[in-house]
Amino acid sequence: MGNPSAEYRRRLESLDRKALAEHQLAKLNDLLATLSPANKFYTEKLASSPQPLESLDQLAELPFTTKEELISGSPSLPMPANRTWPTEQYVRYHQTSGTRGRPMPVYDTAADWQWWVDCWQFVLDAAEITSNDRALMAFSFGPFIGFWSAHDALLARGGLSIPGGGMNSLARLDLLQRTGATALFCTPTYALHLVEVADQHKINLAHFGVRKIVVAGEPGGSVPATRTRIEKAWNARVTDHSGASEVGPWGYGDRQHSGLHVLESEFIAEFFSVETGKPASEGELSHLVLTSLGRHGMPVVRYRTGDLVRPRWPKEGSNRFVLLEGGVLGRTDDMMVVRGVNIFPSSIEQILRSFPEVVEFRLTARKRGEMDEIVIEVEDHMQDPKRIAEELQLRLGLKVDVRLASAMSLPRFEGKGARFVDLRDTDPIKSGETQP
């Protein structure tokens, strides 16, 4: 994109569907021309596909890409399968978090990294971050992508970036206060963990200067109860963001807090019905498939993200990029079917976070025969899990086993929260057994 202006970004957001499709098609054909023959993986994969495409309708003739394809081979593979050029042409190394298997290496050229930074400007726009802001980046600064691109995007905007790696939560709170930080970048889990630490040390976060919080890494930023809880404790506005190391920074929160916009000037989004597998209609629960348009060194074409969403195509307003209502609702692997009802961890989080006395929780899913069963552990200041179970039954239509956990017994997280323990494939429960 080449460091686009705010005015240019607004024009892209306001494109109608026809003009946007023309923009995407031109970028897609440019990408495809780069890949053949330089990218061996996609040269072979797309050998029988039409090129160049005459319309985006032909995109459906191209095969899907899965993460398993990208990480196939030796565990010590120095480059992912979809690399385009020799290692010498890459300047950035990251790796996926490995929460669903071994970490996958991710490389970017200088041009690709600039694309990351340019994409992040849309997120900063949504969060109303300016050159006057001082932002604490509360992540480890390790090989996980985290907020590395946000850090560089903020520098490009002229803001002050405050690195928060290598310190504990109390030290980060002290750093926030000493620097007069106006913005915080972290996971939703960590924003809430800082609230807990502040409460323990009788620190009033609302008196800090933080008024803008950008969250990523988990669905919590688009879960209303979680977002409200963060905003109330910090007296700040939360903006959600979604991305993936192997895909790029593809989504950012809308100003009405109703979901995530896909950055369609840089990504082509496709939606396939969970029920039928066919292209989804508006509002239908769907599998999200993404094609990155500006990342030539490590591209993904029709990549199955594993995210489940509900798309809506705005016809009015200043931003007409497709909107995912409620953000990312869950992962394909996380969806549970409990007595015939589809349940996501995010829907349970929404209910649990509506109880201010619930400090932390953990959800464990297991199989009983062919059916999914769940147990929820809560650290509850009121010591009354019954009222939580009643609310879950009222709102989900299910009787859920809610158990009291002792204070500080459940794990705390600085990165992505791991509150969902899925034992369905490893620890089946035989009929008649009781869960521990």
Same domain, 76 and 122: yes
Residue identified by tokens 């396939």 is 272
Same domain, 186 and 261: yes
Same domain, 310 and 350: no
Of the candidates 328, 323, 4, the residue with the CA atom closest to the CA atom of residue 153:
4
CA distances from 196 to 180, 191, 192, 304, 412 (A): 20, 9, 6, 36, 10
Same domain, 347 and 319: no
Kindly report the backbone phi and psi dihedral angles of residue 385, in degrees, each rounded to the nearest multiple of 5, phi listed first.
-65, -20
- Kindly give the confidence (pLDDT) of every residue in the chain, 436 residues in length, as a single tens digit, with 9 standing for 90 and above: 556 799 999 999 999 999 999 999 999 999 999 999 999 999 999 999 999 999 999 999 999 999 889 886 445 556 789 999 999 999 999 988 655 556 788 999 999 999 999 999 999 999 999 999 999 999 988 888 889 999 999 999 999 999 999 899 999 999 999 999 999 999 998 999 999 999 999 999 989 999 999 999 888 888 889 999 999 999 999 999 999 999 999 999 998 888 999 999 999 999 999 999 999 999 999 999 999 999 999 999 999 999 999 999 999 899 999 999 999 988 887 777 676 667 778 888 889 988 999 999 999 888 776 667 889 999 999 999 999 999 988 888 778 899 999 998 998 776 666 788 888 776 554 434 434 3
Domain boundary among 269, 304, 331: 331
The residue range of the domain holding 404 is 335-422
Q: How many CB atoms lie within 10 A of CB 222?
A: 29
Same domain, 303 and 351: no
What token pair was written down for 355?
């109880």
What token pair was written down for 403?
């158990």
Q: For residues 367 and 106, what is the distance between their CA atoms, to the nearest angstrom?
A: 35
Identify the burial level of 436 via C-beta atoms within 10 angstroms of its C-beta, where 0-12 means exposed, 13-18 middle and 19 or more buried.
exposed
Q: For residues 291 and 305, what is the distance between their CA atoms, to the nearest angstrom?
A: 10
75 found inside a domain:
yes
Kindly report the backbone phi and psi dihedral angles of residue 206, in degrees, each rounded to the nearest multiple of 5, phi listed first.
-60, -20
179 found inside a domain:
yes
Same domain, 207 and 119: yes
Same domain, 108 and 3: yes
431 found inside a domain:
no
Q: Are 289 and 262 in contact (CB under 8 A)?
A: no
Domain boundary among 331, 346, 379: 331
Same domain, 217 and 359: no
Same domain, 290 and 245: yes
432 found inside a domain:
no
Domain boundary among 310, 331, 352: 331
CB within 8 Å of 391: residues ≥ 6 apart: 351, 354, 355
Report which DSSP code applies to 69: H
CATH of the domain at 353: 3.30.300.30
| Element housing 145 (H / E) | none
Kindly report the backbone phi and psi dihedral angles of residue 352, in degrees, each rounded to the nearest multiple of 5, phi listed first.
-65, -40
Q: For residues 388 and 384, what is the distance between their CA atoms, to the nearest angstrom?
A: 7
369 found inside a domain:
yes
- SS3 call for 364: strand
Q: For residues 200 and 371, what is the distance between their CA atoms, to the nearest angstrom?
A: 41
Same domain, 367 and 402: yes
Q: Domain total for the chain?
A: 2
Same domain, 82 and 226: yes
**Nearest-10 Cα torsion for 253, 126, 216, 398:** -20
Same domain, 126 and 263: yes
Q: For residues 134 and 132, what is the distance between their CA atoms, to the nearest angstrom?
A: 7
The string over 286-308, giving b where at least 16 C-beta atoms fall within 10 Å of a residue's C-beta and e elsewhere, is bbbbbbbbbbbbbbbbbbbbbbb
Strand-by-strand arrangement of the 311-312 sheet:
160-163, 134-137, 183-186, 212-215, 237-244, 248-253, 259-262, 323-325, 311-312
